[in-house]
Amino acid sequence: MPNERERLVENRARPTTDELRRFIAQDWAPRPTATTGPAEVAPYAATRRETLSNQFAGQRLVVPAGGHKVRSNDSDYVFRPHSAFAHLTGLGGDREPGAILVLEPREQGGHEAILYFRPLAGRDSDEFFADTRYGEFWVGARPTITDVETELGLTARHIDEFADAMAKDVGQVTLRVVRDADPDVTAQVDEARTTVGADPGKTLAVERDDELSHALSTLRMVKDDWEIDQMRQAVAATHRGFEAVIADLPEAVARGRGERWVEGVFGLHARHQGNGIGYDSICAAGDHATTMHWIKNTGDLRKGDLILVDAGVELDSLFTADITRTLPLSGEFSAAQREIYDAVYAAQEAGLAAVKPGNRFSDIHAAAIRVIAEHLYEWGLLPDGVDVEATLDADRGQYHRRWMVAGTSHHLGIDVHDCALATRGDYMDAELQPGMILTVEPGLYFKADDLLAPERFRGIGVRIEDDVLVTPDGHENLSAAMPRTAADVERWIRDIQAR
């Protein structure tokens, strides 16, 4: 049967006679085997599920992948599964729209992992030819039940079995769902709770669901060996993308609308080396670099300006890098540009030094922002009578935030802002542990119309960002191969463009 969207769009070819259906279904060669063995990530995903199982013993946990999102009329955006679903199954890329992972409690303890999804349909079905979202004619062959079980090491079932399985014994078992993953599934769960009289009240039900989301977010804070390797690969791919951008900067300057050219060059390499970009790339030249999240990327590149490039390659596993380099388009920093750049570099060095076990996550920002405040004070930019300690006072100061409004760090992994639903105690106030991966990204941003800024600084924005792994004895800068000092950045540009 056509889905609701296809019902509204009647100009699509679909079988309309039995004769056509029979003709379409006949004379096809056997399909090749889709899966040759277990995925490398499968045992790691199983360990993650076991950790979650121990936290919610005896409870049914529903983790949807999410569904397609309409881009325009009858066109869909490329599908990306919900991060919690991807983390617990190991499925990345565009797999599997509409799927739902259920951790079903066992009587003897623990959970059985069951993946409900839409498997490959037979060639004698209307779906094969007519379903534009799932049909093999339209989107290619889907995996079978056996394929998924072999690949992921869990139980797989048809999505049509989900509703009854989810609602079974709801009055006797606590049911939780990741509410933001798929509104249709969340509505199903809420209806099941209400129908059997198991709804503890809307507020309490949502609180229970939020507890699951917080646990899933916290689960990603300390990366396992497989995740760390994925991050190394994402950083390496991003390094290659930046070097491609640098090589093509003269062309970007010459062509006009050069921010778009830079965005396109990086996007080409991101798509070629991985799944694509991990977030919309910031390619901000001149005064645009003073806008924190400049993703319009519509500006020209002028030779005397800087360009701030904040970009990351996302692998097929959905793990993404997040790196920023600020580059002089002429190949050399001006005196004012270097003055700001060196201040940001010093702040980043302080932030990096704070990344070690035993320190709190918030210590990274505290170390970096102190250096920022010291430079602003030395430049005479803080109000009269306000020294470094006064501006760092969280209740009565914070004047420095005029020129650095953002934080210095965030967790990084399968989301660019990973673990975002963790509680403050598990995030900002938590001690750093080996296996955490963080960004360190201080900046200074002097808008062109900022009359408090020295004229020589106006229209200059600088950020330096690296991806850092917490180790037992300190940290490892995963992106250390990408030059950071002003002199090294100039040499980097010169060497690449001379090739």
**Domains of the chain by residue range:** 4-219, 225-497
Joined tokens for residue 383: 């109000």
CA–CA separation, 100 and 176 (whole Å):
13
Q: Tell me the per-residue pLDDT of 14-23, one tens digit each, with 9 for 90 and over.
A: 667 889 989 9
* Per-residue confidence (pLDDT) for residue 200, from 0 to 100: 57
Closest CA to 352 of 473, 475, 488: 475
Residue 3: pLDDT over 80: no
* Per-residue confidence (pLDDT) for residue 11, from 0 to 100: 53
Instruction: Tell me the average pLDDT across 374-400.
Output: 97
Residue 4: pLDDT over 80: no
Query: Where does the pLDDT of residue 1 fall: very low under 50, low under 70, confident under 90, or very high at 90 and above?
Result: very low
Residue 84: pLDDT over 80: yes
CA-CA-CA-CA torsion sign (452, 336, 288, 311): negative
225-497: which CATH number, 3.30.360.10, 3.90.230.10, 1.10.760.10, 3.40.640.10?
3.90.230.10
CB crowding 412-432: b at 16 or more within 10 Å, else e: bbbbbebbebbeeebbeebeb
Query: Where does the pLDDT of residue 416 fall: very low under 50, low under 70, confident under 90, or very high at 90 and above?
Result: very high
**Would you say 460 and 472 are in contact if contact means Cβ atoms under 8 Å apart?**
no
Closest CA to 319 of 266, 268, 273, 264: 273
Sheet holding 155-158, edge to edge: 155-158, 111-117, 100-105, 60-64, 175-177
Residue 57: CB atoms within 10 A of its CB come to 10
Q: Tell me the per-residue pLDDT of 148-173, one tens digit each, with 9 for 90 and over.
A: 999 999 999 999 999 999 999 988 89
**Would you say 238 and 313 are in contact if contact means Cβ atoms under 8 Å apart?**
yes
CA–CA separation, 450 and 459 (whole Å):
9
Please report, to the nearest 10 degrees, the dihedral formed by the alpha carbons of residues 384, 385, 387, 391 taken in order: -80
In DSSP notation, 461-498 reads: EEE-BEEEEEETTEEEETTTTS--SHHHHHHHHHHHHT
Instruction: Tell me the average pLDDT across 218-247.
Output: 98
DSSP state of 457: G
Q: Tell me the per-residue pLDDT of 307-338, one tens digit each, with 9 for 90 and over.
A: 999 999 999 999 999 999 999 999 999 999 99
Could you please state the CATH topology (level 3) that the domain comprising 4-219 is classified under.
Creatine Amidinohydrolase; Chain A, domain 1 (3.40.350)
Which region, left, alpha or beta, applies to residue 34 given φ > 0 means left and ψ of -120 to 50 means alpha?
alpha
Q: Tell me the per-residue pLDDT of 241-272, one tens digit each, with 9 for 90 and over.
A: 999 999 999 999 999 999 999 999 999 999 99
Joined tokens for residue 32: 């090749």
Which region, left, alpha or beta, applies to residue 41 given φ > 0 means left and ψ of -120 to 50 means alpha?
alpha
Radius of gyration of the chain (CA): 26
CA–CA separation, 457 and 450 (whole Å):
9
Taking each helix axis as running N to C, give the angle between helix 225-247 and helix 258-273, from 0 to 180 degrees, rounded to the nearest 10: 140
CA–CA separation, 94 and 80 (whole Å):
5
Residue 25: pLDDT over 50: yes
Residue 236: pLDDT over 70: yes
CA–CA separation, 499 and 493 (whole Å):
10
CA-CA-CA-CA torsion sign (235, 237, 241, 244): positive
Q: Tell me the per-residue pLDDT of 190-210, one tens digit each, with 9 for 90 and over.
A: 999 887 665 556 667 888 999
Tell me the pairing of strands 100-105 and 155-158: unpaired
